[in-house]
Structure 1
Amino acid sequence: MIDDEVIVAFVCVQNAGRSQMATAFAKREMENRNLGNRVEILTGGTNPTDSVHQSTVEVMREDGIDLSDRTPREITFEELQDADIVITMGCSADDLCPATWSGDNRDWDLDDPHGRSLDIVRGIRDEIRDRVADLLAELEAGRSAETS
């Protein structure tokens, strides 16, 4: 079990698709794993848009998650500095300056769902759901091994 809090940041440019899906799945997965306050999830964009993409809202609703009330936000330099793991979604994040991140940096290299068909967005959603589950399993197993 995770002893110390782990901060995970899901970052994208607009914070209107992939990073919103990842955040929602992470919160659901944390609840399913009874991780409580052991993992903190941050999300944001380098150039956030006004609202979550409608296609993202629609495919997430199909999976039982309502993102209609979410608002994209900017991720701050300070938040990234405090994160243990920063995950970019496959978008250009040059302005984030990965060299300044103090933790584990990963790029999931996912297609941008904006303007894509619902079938393509569903595939992106499913890949994100699987990656988030794997990430939380990794965190849980890694922290268990460290305390054994």
Structure 2
Amino acid sequence: MSHAYQRAPITLDQQYALTAAASRLAGEFDGTYGAETIERFLHTSYDQFAGRAVVANFLPLLAERFARQRLTALARVEGRHDDGRPTVLFLCVHNAGRSQMALGFFQHHAGDRAVAWSGGSEPGDQVNPMAVAAMAERGIDISAEYPKPWTDEVVRAADVVVTMGCGDACPVFPGKRYEDWALDDPAGQDLAAVRPIRDEIERRVLALLDRLEVVAGDS
């Protein structure tokens, strides 16, 4: 495997894991992207997390998941694959609270009828535990999610970009449909304070699904 794009330190076990990840992605994107593109996206995705990962053993998994999302987005942008489903990107500062709850509600209510991603202008180290707990009260598990940055291809692939407090740091592409949701930041708040933020996010997600003409339901 080429290491032209690999700048972060890497152990032998991580290299084995990345090699396996590249093989899986090559199978998934066979006929769409070649090995060089897949490896480049995988390794640049790895670099995004290497400097701030809490558990180094999870790095290859995070890189694979993020590379898969980015390649899917690129295929949509380039017209190589578009299944016609509405795609929404939720952005906040740390991608740890508001955007993660919005993603959870969107996926829960939209099921496979629409696609949603999330990102942050300054990704944190982990999803806010109070956001995880608040969503668990609604039967939605976001504990496996992780803060991640936004990338150009992901923004360009979205039909709607929903921003939440990232201000000028949020990406702006001409002609893209944007919505700005003014919501309190759950960072540093206790569960009681996060609940009303969670409920307002769900209300807005349901309204967005209605505007997108996506039938909401429990997935």
Report the TM range for the smaller structure's normalisation. Answer: 0.7 to 0.9
Aligned to 2:186: 113
Q: Does residue 45 in structure 1 map to residue 120 in structure 2?
A: yes
Identical positions, percent: 43
| 1:18 is the counterpart of 2:92 | no
Unpaired stretches in structure 2, ≥5 consecutive residues: 1-82, 215-219
Q: How many residues align?
A: 132
TM-score by length of 1: 0.82
Q: What do the CA deviations read for 1:98-141 (whole angstroms, capped 9, x no partner)? A: 2x254210111101001113222000000001110111111117
Alpha carbon RMSD of aligned pairs, Å?
Answer: 1.6
| TM-score normalized by the length of structure 2 | 0.57
- For 1:101 and 1:72, how far apart are their aligned partners in 2? 26
Residue of structure 2 in register with 1:56 after alignment: 131
Report the structure number with the largest CA radius of gyration. Answer: 2
User: In 2, are the aligned partners of 1:21 and 1:128 still within 8 Å (CA)?
Assistant: yes
Q: How far off its partner does 1:40 sit?
A: 1.5
1:30 and 1:101 map into 2 onto residues whose CA distance is 27
Q: Give structure 1 regions of 4+ aligned residues with deviation exceeding 2 angstroms.
A: 95-98
**Alpha-carbon distance between aligned partners in 1 of 2:174 and 2:202, rounded to the nearest angstrom:** 25
1:17-58 per-position Cα deviation (integer Å, ceiling 9, x unaligned): 000000000001112xxxx2x422111111111100111111
Structure 1 residue matching 2:115: 3-state secondary structure:
strand
SS at match of 1:106: strand
Q: Which is helix-richer, 1 or 2?
A: 2
Report if the CA contact (8 A) 1:83-1:102 is conserved.
Answer: no
Higher relative contact order, chain-length normalized (CA < 8 Å, sep 6+): 1
Secondary structure of residue in 1 paired with 2:212: helix
2:157 matched residue in structure 1:
82
- Opposite residue 62 of structure 1, the aligned amino acid is E
Q: Counterpart in 2 of 1:146?
A: none
Who is 1:103 aligned against?
176
How far apart are the structure 1 equivalents of 2:154 and 2:175? 11
